[in-house]
Structure 1
Amino acid sequence: MKKTILLSGVLLFLFACGNDKTKNEAELQNQELLSLIKADTNVNKKEFKKIVFRNLDNIEDSEELNLPLLSKVASNLNIKYSNIKIDETSSINYDDKTAFFVLTIVERNRKKKQSKDYTDLGNYFQRKYLFVDRESGSIIAEEFDANLGYYHNEEIQFSKSHILKNLIYLNENTPAIGFYTEANANSRIVLYSEKKFTLLTLTDNEIRKVLYEYPIYLTNGDSNGSGTYQIETLETGISLGDDKTNGLFDLIVTKNFSYEEAVEDSLENEMEENKELKIKKESEKLKFNGKEYAFHRDDRHRFLE
């Protein structure tokens, strides 16, 4: 009798364990199914990030450059493919049907008038923005940027315009393309370099520059060319705020100013190597006024006199 009761108890225990195991497996399957459903519903959702970049080292550039499509674009623009400076051309896919290019086009043997004489400054490089059809290369919208045009032998040179890897959503439905271009002085004495950041959108088949040439990096200073120098540097980070103005998120800009002064170690001049470093932090909020993120350019030095 005792053996029968004991056996029944064992069977009941095993049956209960089996039920718990079945229940746990069912719950696990339900959780996995729920996760798959959530993942499926998020497939078509746009990537939405608040931080555009924390600092310049944090920026990821787009590595897309569809050369076959670029060839079609050149044909549709009626320009020679050989007149496109490939190493200064960038692109990114804007959506399933549209791509965006920043082209650098070479205009050879162009003269620039200075005073009463014409001076040969070498080839002229023009910067052009383009939205194109990804299949045919047909032009949807185009615009030259005169501010980024330069001659080969001019003192101020412009780099390739680097497009950010990810689109920036200024609200839930407005994607923007961000890119930056560096200007620098070709001099060992004058220490000048500046990176300017632009945000643009495609609206009703028109290019709209909602933020234009905002300085995200700036150096000013001078050097004797052999180790003694003083230089002030501005470096920024940009993120999207929680508040909106006229439908678009405010932009929060963090500014880091630094100052460095160095004196060359010289036995002849009885000078010892000396370095000084100062740092100052500021911030700024940029609001969309219905047309653009307006800002006042601030060229005040925080340390240099």
Structure 2
Amino acid sequence: MPMKKTILYSGVLMFLFACGKSEKTINQAEIQNQELLSLTETDADYNNNNNKELKKLVFKNLDDIKDSEELNLPLLSKVASNLNIKYSNIKMDETSSINYDDKTAFFVLTIIEHNKKISKADGYENLGNYFQRKYLFVNRESGDIIAEEFDDNLGYYHNEAIRFSKSHILKDLVYLNENTPAIGFYTEASASSRIVLYSEQKFTLLTLANNEIKKVLYEYPIRLTNGDSNGSGTYQIETLETGMSFGNHKTNGFYDLIVTKNFSYEEAVEDSLENEMEEKSNLKIKKESEKLMFNGKEYAFNRDDRHRFLE
């Protein structure tokens, strides 16, 4: 079955995971990885410089993630002025921020470009409003721009089928080693349809190095849903949910990332007297794990779009 796309209804997901039962892991290494991600306490290692505990767990599962609630509006006003954009052109419900250190803040802005036009042989074509996603490190006092970068992968027109959510920044910084903080955030891509079910959340880790933005992990899929429905209760859905934690081993100076993958599949048929169908449900679960190692530039990975249950 080819991949199909839409938003997965949250109620269906809740049902899936409420009903799911874990099957046996394949080997001892996978069991250890699962145990690592079950930790809720910080790791026992300490930062040699400031004696702070290093938290190895990034998130146990997606429901465990806490978002940053910081949004310094006076600072954002200064940032808009320094970018030479109108404050009113910032889409506030798709903008978030976090303090990176005592002197620096990080923003993910969504900037509206009204009635964007492209040149054509017979004139210009108005494509409507375009929403651009921009990453910024700024001075917390003046709003001066330290580093900035557009993310073309997250730009979209108002009338496109695929939309991108606000980029949700994790409440806490994570440490790639004893001295290197990083910012984590995730963004959902989805399409609206009652028939084709698609939703994906992608996770990015970035840091500031020599006044440049470094994306050390870019758009790793942490939730992915595919399936289809008849729009009235009969559907088949395959869902991937992940957890993420740093291991104890370092490669090229940064801790390895351990990702646990939980695949679930449900096929359900709604009870229908008219169509002479009896209600039934079929649920399957599969667990896997993956280790991502830093290659000196990024945590490299090969995107895996294989279905575990859908054909």
| TM-score of the two chains, using structure 2 as the length reference | 0.82
Contact 1:72 1:136 (C-alpha < 8 Å) held by counterparts = yes
Structure 1 residue aligned with 2:262: 256
In terms of fraction of residues, the more helix-rich structure is 1
Contact 1:121–1:152 under 8 Å retained in 2: no
d(CA) in 2 for partners of 1:63, 1:48: 22
Higher RCO (CA 8 Å, separation ≥ 6 residues): 2
Deviation at 1:274, TM superposition (A): 0.9
Selected match of 2:295 from 273, 289, 301? 289
Cα deviation, residue 122, structure 1: 2.9
Residue 284 of structure 1 aligns to which amino acid in structure 2? E
Q: 2:135 aligns with which of 120, 129, 132?
A: 129
Between the aligned partners of 1:267 and 1:119, the Cα distance in structure 2 is 52
Query: Do the aligned partners of 2:223 and 2:240 also contact (CA within 8 Å) in 1?
Result: yes
Counterpart selection for 1:73 from 68, 79, 84: 79
RMSD over equivalenced CA pairs, Å:
2.1
Matched residue SS, 1:171: coil
AA aligned opposite 2:162: I
Q: Distance in 1 between matches of 2:251 and 2:273?
A: 60
Unaligned runs of 5+ in 2: 1-46
User: Between the two proteins, what is the percent identity of the paired residues?
Assistant: 83
Instruction: Please report how far the alpha carbon of residue 212 of structure 1 lies from its aligned counterpart in structure 2 after TM superposition.
Output: 0.2
2:162 alignment partner, one of 156, 161, 165 = 156
Q: Does 1:304 align with 2:297?
A: no
Unaligned 5+ segments in structure 1 are: 1-40
Matched, 1:184 2:193: no
TM-score, normalised relative to structure 1: 0.83
Q: CA deviation at 1:111?
A: 3.8
2:58 aligned with 1:57: no
Q: Does 1:98 align with 2:107?
A: no
What is the deviation of 1:190? 1.1
**2:4 match:** none
Aligned residues: 265
Partner amino acid for 2:250? K
Determine the structure 1 residue equivalent to 2:177.
171
Moved over 6 A (4+): 116-119
Alpha-carbon distance in 2 for matches of 1:165, 1:105 = 23
Q: Which amino acid aligns with 2:55?
A: K
C-alpha offsets along residues 149-203 of structure 1, whole Å, 9 cap, x if unaligned?
0011101000000000000001000000000000001111110000000000000
Tell me the alpha carbon deviations over residues 31-82 of structure 1, each in whole angstroms, 9 at most, x when there is no partner.
xxxxxxxxxx999544520100000000010000000000000000000000
Question: For residue 214 of structure 2, what is the aligned residue in structure 1?
Answer: 208
